[in-house]
């Protein structure tokens, strides 16, 4: 639960270092990367997940993590934004 909802990159990294699966799925099929793309206030959380092997091409309801980034997200126009965008192609 903490890995899904943490806004702190250090907490996410500690959980990943302890063996948390960056591609774990919720009952609805979403991954930590989907949640981070939609809700995170810091690109470091998304980057930690990508560095740990999170698959940016996993789709839920036909949408990738990139598709879930809100228009007003602080992730917009950051390196991780473009990594997620480029992974779609």
Q: What is the residue extent of each domain of the chain?
A: 2-87
Burial (CB < 10 A; 0-12, 13-18, 19+), residue 18, is: exposed
Q: What pLDDT is recorded for position 4? A: 53
Q: What is the third-level CATH fold of 2-87?
A: 1.25.40
Q: What pLDDT is recorded for position 62? A: 95
Quote the distance between the C-alpha of residue 84 and its chain's center.
9
pTM for this model (two decimals): 0.90
pLDDT tens-place values along the chain, 89 residues long: 555 566 788 888 999 999 999 999 999 999 999 999 999 989 999 999 999 999 999 999 999 999 999 999 999 999 999 999 999 98
């Amino acid at each position: 639960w903490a890995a899904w909802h943490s806004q702190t990159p250090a907490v996410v990294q500690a959980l990943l270092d302890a063996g948390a699966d960056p591609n774990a799925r919720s009952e609805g099929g979403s991954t930590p990367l989907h949640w981070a793309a939609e809700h995170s206030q810091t690109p470091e959380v998304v980057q930690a997940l990508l560095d740990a092997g999170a698959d940016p091409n996993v789709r839920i309801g036909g949408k990738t993590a990139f598709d879930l980034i809100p228009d007003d997200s602080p992730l917009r126009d950051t390196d991780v934004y473009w990594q997620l965008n480029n992974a779609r192609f």
